[in-house]
Amino acid sequence: MVIPSTEITKEIEMIVVTGASGQLGRLVMEFLLQRVPAGQLVAAVRSPHKVADLAARGVVVRHADYSDPASLRRAFSGASKVLLISGNEIGQRLPQHAAVIEAAKAVGVPWLFYTSLLRADVSPLGLAEEHRQTERLIRDSGLNHVLLRNGWYTENYLASVPAALTHLAFLGSAGEGLIASAARADYAEAAAVALTREQASGTIYELAGDEAYTLAQFSAAIAEAAGKPVVYQDLPQVEFAAVLEQAGLPPEFARLLADSDVGASRGGLFDDSHTLSQLIDHATTSWRTMVHAAAGS
């Protein structure tokens, strides 16, 4: 997808970011602060004390709880744009997202932005279903909207580097599937750019890293960085989920990660459009650089 050249929106009344205290939300706020006056930004969070530092910098902080529609309406009051960062409670996201969409519509928010999943409409990942349903709700709402379909975070795999160095094996179920991941910061910057540019309602950005790799290549990079013989061990989906559960992950989350790896083996985490780097106007963060940093080199 070729990103048309556009100017930054000249007049922005107020941009509201939900989940602004989360890992992605925090980064989105930082990139927005480079582009928008702090007083035009609202951090909508369940626990306002967690973003006291943003308040000290002039950001408006408002309480917003997915289970409290009235709080959402108050948080969105006067907003010109709302960024709905997808929730992290798997299985509960659809009702949570629906509450945000309904509140935005109720108070007349002109634009709704949503962080979805790479090619959510056709993705083989089980994780995509809640995103597909959320996208449908957004379209049906009649709100002007933009979909930011994020690919995999490189950090998702970096979390397994310590275990790989301990056991000299990186486990997964992705086979030879190519994974075009990017750093969380890359996706956050993309959100900030999209929120501050003009585009048509219904615009969809398919976002992924510039470089793709297999988990065997990822494991080889760990080995190179650490100087240890780390190898990739591909496991059946059920066996990989069991390993993740034994490592302490909740069963549902372990099954989701194993399913996502299998989805990667079917092309679900690959994209070579370079839409992300075009949107942020620079190359995405090198996964090899991130692996070397994580492996201590």
Asked if 106 contacts 82 with a C-beta cutoff of 8 angstroms, the reply is no
For residue 8, pLDDT over 50 is answered with: no
User: In whole angstroms, what is the distance from residue 184 CA to residue 38 CA?
Assistant: 22
For residue 226, pLDDT over 80 is answered with: yes
Asked if 57 contacts 75 with a C-beta cutoff of 8 angstroms, the reply is no
pLDDT tens digits for 66-117?
889 999 999 999 999 999 999 877 778 899 999 999 999 999 999 999 999 9
For residue 7, pLDDT over 80 is answered with: no
pLDDT band at 187 (very low <50, low <70, confident <90, very high): very high
CA distances from 93 to 43, 142, 170 (A): 20, 20, 30
Query: pTM score > 0.85 for this model?
Result: yes
- Looking at every residue in the chain, the average pLDDT score rounds to 94
Asked if 153 contacts 184 with a C-beta cutoff of 8 angstroms, the reply is yes
User: In whole angstroms, what is the distance from residue 22 CA to residue 18 CA?
Assistant: 9
Amino acid identity at 111:
W
Determine the pLDDT at residue 297. 59
**Which residues face 84 on adjacent strands?**
114
pLDDT band at 225 (very low <50, low <70, confident <90, very high): very high
Q: What is the mean pLDDT of residues 46-52?
A: 96
What backbone phi and psi angles, to 5 degrees, belong to 217? Answer: -70, -35
Determine the pLDDT at residue 11. 52
Tokens representing 197 are 């540019």
User: In whole angstroms, what is the distance from residue 44 CA to residue 42 CA?
Assistant: 6
Tokens representing 188 are 């956050």
Tokens representing 250 are 């909740």
User: In whole angstroms, what is the distance from residue 24 CA to residue 113 CA?
Assistant: 14
Determine the pLDDT at residue 9. 41
Residue position matching structure tokens 């379909």 = 149
Determine the pLDDT at residue 184. 98
Tokens representing 81 are 């744009």
pLDDT band at 10 (very low <50, low <70, confident <90, very high): very low
For residue 1, pLDDT over 70 is answered with: no
Q: What is the mean pLDDT of residues 271-283?
A: 98
Q: What is the mean pLDDT of residues 186-208?
A: 97
User: In whole angstroms, what is the distance from residue 181 CA to residue 168 CA?
Assistant: 23
Determine the pLDDT at residue 266. 97
pLDDT tens digits for 149-178?
999 999 999 999 999 999 999 999 999 999
At 136, which helix (H) or strand (E)?
helix 128-141
Determine the pLDDT at residue 207. 98
pLDDT band at 39 (very low <50, low <70, confident <90, very high): very high
